[in-house]
Amino acid sequence: MSESLRIALAQRNFLVGDVHGNAARVIECARHARDELRADLVLFPELTLSGYPPEDLLFHSGFRRQIEAGLARVCAEVSDVDLMLGFPEYTKAAIYNSAAYVRAGQIAAIHRKAELPNYRVFDEKRYFQPGSQPSITDCGGVRMGLLVCEDIWAPQAAQLSRADGAQMLLVINASPFEIHKQREREQVARARARDVGLPLVYVNLVGGQDELVFDGNSFAMDAQGEVVMRAPAFEEGTYLIEFACEAGGALTPRPAAVVPELSDEASVYGALVLGVRDYVRKHGFPGVVLGLSGGVDSALTLAIAVDALGGKCVQAVMMPSRYTSRMSLDDSKEQAQGLGVQYSVLSIETMFEATLATLKDEFAGRPVDAAEENMQSRCRMLLLMGLSNKTGRMLLTTGNKSEMAVGYATLYGDMAGGFAPIKDCSKLLVYRLANYRNSLGRVIPQRVIERPPSAELRDDQKDSDSLPPYEILDPILEAFIEEDLSVDEIQARGFDRATVGRVLDLVKRNEYKRRQAPPGVRVSRRAFGRDWRYPITSGYRR
């Protein structure tokens, strides 16, 4: 046995479907870890070669050929350092979510993921068959138990590895971000380490993939479950942990950096920035355009976009109407100039008047209502999509989760766009994030945060004219959306029953809108998107 074992955690950003590019990234990173970090072993995330989640790409025969060629290329081009990387393993009868352990250009061991998650955003039983056997290999005379992500969330895989002689657990992961997720991961890993009395090394994917953001936060624990190394959140890098190999087979970690956990606001903001950056860049857009209204939602979205892409890649457009206040005009200009973005003011008044004139006879005898309000939003959409088409910049929408939940948004109006950064952020969270971002450097005018929220689609309009106060609305929405609680259960928390019933009815009634909304970054336990599958047409009553 060697005197020490140096393990590099390759917390890297891989692109779904880019098998050739992912293989090249593995080779480059492995060589760096070997030559610069003097690593004995490099761990890569779950499904490294395919990217995660590959979804129905897995069913394409051409994709299978690329995966097999990519793995063969890694084996052929990396020597003098061991690798563990994830890949979809194809057999005649099944596909497995597997980890390959590569030594001296050969596959020394393969572990097939045993615990396949099929909840929330995970749909692995659609694609993969589970493995059933422990997988053990050695590095420098140390016996390693190989695990893939969910394997560590149940005790059996770790126990089987220990029973088969493992001295350490290696866990490769593609675990997406949500609030408090890192705390949960480490609690589970601590329980496994203590249960089997073995140290473990946990590497996690980083980067944005559609609605999901993978936050990294890779770590290592000793046999008592204490964190002895933690990598930064939302940052690519290759991070080293060294273990001293003691007489009798014990492995003792040597001092390494333990990066502190981020606050809730910092972690959510980091996820939003990374999610926007990767969605825009991985799709090849030169930048983004968005409507800036003078409200807190668009102000926060603009700050996120600039932090993700830089001011030169962002265009903000103020589109005033007869109802737009001077405060909104002034505050929008101040923020746009402070962030150094391209800023345009394009009035919708002429378009709005022309639309009203065209529909005058059709609307005759009917009172002014939401139809006229929605026209303004759709006029703005025409301008923004025109700019998006002409410049190639993607349109960001600025709606929050509270609005999406109850339908307080205009279909084919302010809901139109390519990506919705704050789609999974409640209104109260939006305020917290705005204050957090200003704590790093003031970029959002303070009165934008302090003023009563308004869509400014009619005189003296306030959100509170149509909705309960957000201090009441948001907890009701969280209880229903994230906890699946009934009216009775939510009422028992101290809320007025009629208000609860009204809010839940709004959520159910507006499913048709959400199905047509753009994707956005998932940050909560349950977001509208891949882990929300309510029927549009339903006879269910609360």
Which strands form 288-291's sheet, in the order they lie side by side? 342-345, 314-318, 288-291, 394-395
Looking at 320-374, which runs of residues are DSSP E strands?
Answer: 342-345
Phi, psi of 193 (to 5 degrees): -60, -45
Looking at 392-462, which runs of residues are DSSP E strands?
Answer: 394-395
Looking at 174-234, which runs of residues are DSSP E strands?
Answer: 200-204, 206-209, 212-215, 219-221, 227-230
Our answer to whether residue 246 is catalytic in this structure is: no
Spot the catalytic one: 29, 115, 124, 149: 149
**Cis peptide leading into residue 452 (ω within 30°):** no
3-state secondary structure (DSSP) of residue 107: strand
Spot the catalytic one: 29, 46, 245, 513: 46
- Pairing status of strand 206-209 against strand 212-215: antiparallel
Our answer to whether residue 46 is catalytic in this structure is: yes
Please state, in angstroms and rounded to a whole number, the distance separating the CA atoms of residues 167 and 347. 68
Please state, in angstroms and rounded to a whole number, the distance separating the CA atoms of residues 247 and 454. 69
Please state, in angstroms and rounded to a whole number, the distance separating the CA atoms of residues 493 and 285. 46
Please state, in angstroms and rounded to a whole number, the distance separating the CA atoms of residues 418 and 432. 25
Phi, psi of 245 (to 5 degrees): -95, 105
Our answer to whether residue 92 is catalytic in this structure is: no
3-state secondary structure (DSSP) of residue 496: coil
Please state, in angstroms and rounded to a whole number, the distance separating the CA atoms of residues 175 and 186. 12
CA distances from 481 to 117, 119, 280, 360, 463 (A): 20, 15, 28, 41, 21
Please state, in angstroms and rounded to a whole number, the distance separating the CA atoms of residues 354 and 29. 59
What is the rounded end-to-end Cα distance, in angstroms, of the chain?
64
Spot the catalytic one: 113, 401, 423, 513: 113
Residue given tokens 């509208």 in the structure block: 528
Residue given tokens 């990387």 in the structure block: 85
Residue 104's region, left for phi above 0, alpha for psi from -120 to 50, else beta, is: left
Which residues does the annotation mark as catalytic? 46, 113, 149
